[in-house]
Amino acid sequence: MPIRLTERWPEVGPDRLLSECVPPPRFAPVRFETYRPDPAEPSQTEALAALVARGEELAKPRPQKSWWRRKSVPAGLPGIYLDGGFGVGKTHLLASLWHVASGPKMYCTFVELTNLVGALGMRAAVEALARYRVICVDEFELDDPGDTVLISRLLNQLVEAGVQLAATSNTLPDKLGEGRFQAVDFLREIQGLAGHFEVRRIDGPDYRHRGVPVAPEPWTDDQVELAAGNRPNASCDHFVDLYRHLGELHPSKYGAFLDGVETVGITDVRELTDENIALRLVVLADRMYDRDIPVLTSGVPLDRMFSPAMLKGGYRKKYLRALSRLIALSRTGMDNIGID
């Protein structure tokens, strides 16, 4: 019998959240040497050179602060920010930077960072994170006013403590928040965040979809159930049951939710129109992609899971990223698992 994710209720404490702040398994082996810039996209070679140079600096031991000296921000820009589309290697470069940096160091997604602050509280989060030499934040996005103020306060205090920052996103720092809320009310915070980063733009097509522009043809419900039942440590859940269950869990638990799962089966995928449900599935897609978990689905093709209105709205980039990742995982799942 396949695992039912809808029967799982993981508990995750702050210690685990901190201990898991490392590159996910998919990016554990990557290095600068394994990044392959597209010759047709010079910005990729330029970004690689910039990250290698930054990595050489971060590989040096962290300077010790004298107790009688006031804290000061290090000379030069404290952070580097990689902006670009999906699948151009931003996360590969960010993880490579983390690997070469001397410790203590931290790697997390933006969502994991906000969840961590929520779990620890601002004061405890600053105390814990100020010990790091460098903090790498993947998929840096500000989706609501609360997150804008929260992360602005956090990063300002960490920069003052001498922490180096590196981040990736699909939106330039001074454009964060546009199209999602009344950005004019939070322009000061957004511009303050932008000032923490040197921007490096990376252009190019999504490597995950070169030659694979659309989602694979879905299987039937019976085929997904059968394949999941025949695979070790595979789960299988109805789409509606799954997203309802996700609504009862904090997103910080979605990683633990997948502990021990090697294949995810989802039957009767449907087009979504509810933004809250869709955003929960975006987080789940990120956690599955981090762990390189193949996906098997029935119902509508994955590229139709988010409604046309959603793909034109303020969270468009999040949904497109999720589709990019889910389709890649679906290709892996359906190519590697045959149907009897």
| Tens digit of each residue's pLDDT (9 = 90 or more) over 271-309 | 999 999 999 999 999 999 989 999 999 999 999 999 999
- Higher pLDDT, residue 172 or 250: 250
pLDDT band, residue 196 (cuts 50/70/90):
confident
Q: What pLDDT, on the 0 to 100 scale, is given for residue 210?
A: 47
Residue pointed to by tokens 């679906």: 330
Two tokens, residue 18? 């901190």
Strands 197-202 and 79-84: parallel
The pTM of this model reads 0.78
Distance CA 211, CA 141 (A): 28
**Least trusted range by pLDDT, from 81-85, 132-136, 161-165:** 81-85
Tens of pLDDT, residue by residue over 159-184, are 989 999 999 986 767 776 665 555 56
Secondary structure of the chain as H, E, C letters: CCECHHHCCCCCCHHHHHHCCCCCHHHCCCCHHHCCCCCCCHHHHHHHHHHHHHHHHHCCCCCCCCCCCCCCCCCCCCEEEEEECCCCCHHHHHHHHHHHCCCCEEEEEHHHHHHHHHHHCHHHHHHHHCCCCEEEEECCCCCCHHHHHHHHHHHHHHHHCCCEEEEEECCCHHHCCCCCCCHHHHHHHHHHHHCCEEEEEECCCCHHHCCCCCCCCCECHHHHHHHHHHCCCEEEEEHHHHHHHHCCCCHHHHHHHCCCCCEEEEEEECCECCHHHHHHHHHHHHHHHHCCCCEEEEECCHHHCECCCHHHCCCHHHHHHHHHHHHHHHHHHHHHCCCC
- Give CA–CA dist 56/54, Å, rounded: 5
Can you tell me the distance from the alpha carbon of 319 to that of 272, in angstroms, rounded to the nearest whole number? 11
Nearest to 116 by CA among 100, 102, 132, 92: 132
Q: How does pLDDT run across 46-63, given as a tens digit for each residue?
A: 999 999 999 999 998 876
pLDDT at 181: 52
Q: What is the pLDDT of residues 201-243, one digit of tens each?
A: 898 875 555 443 578 899 999 999 999 999 999 999 999 999 9
pLDDT, mean over the chain: 85
Write b or e for each residue in 251-288: b if 16 or more Cβ atoms lie within 10 A of its Cβ, otherwise e.
Answer: bbbbbbbbeebebbbbbbbeebeebeebbbbbbbbbbb
Domains of the chain: 5-12+208-336 (no CATH), 31-205 (3.40.50.300)
80, 197 in Cβ contact below 8 A?
yes
pLDDT of residue 67: 44
Residue 296: per-residue pLDDT: 96
Dihedral sign of CA atoms 146, 147, 149, 154 in order? positive
Which pLDDT band, with edges at 50, 70 and 90, does 250 fall under?
confident
pLDDT at position 339, please? 47
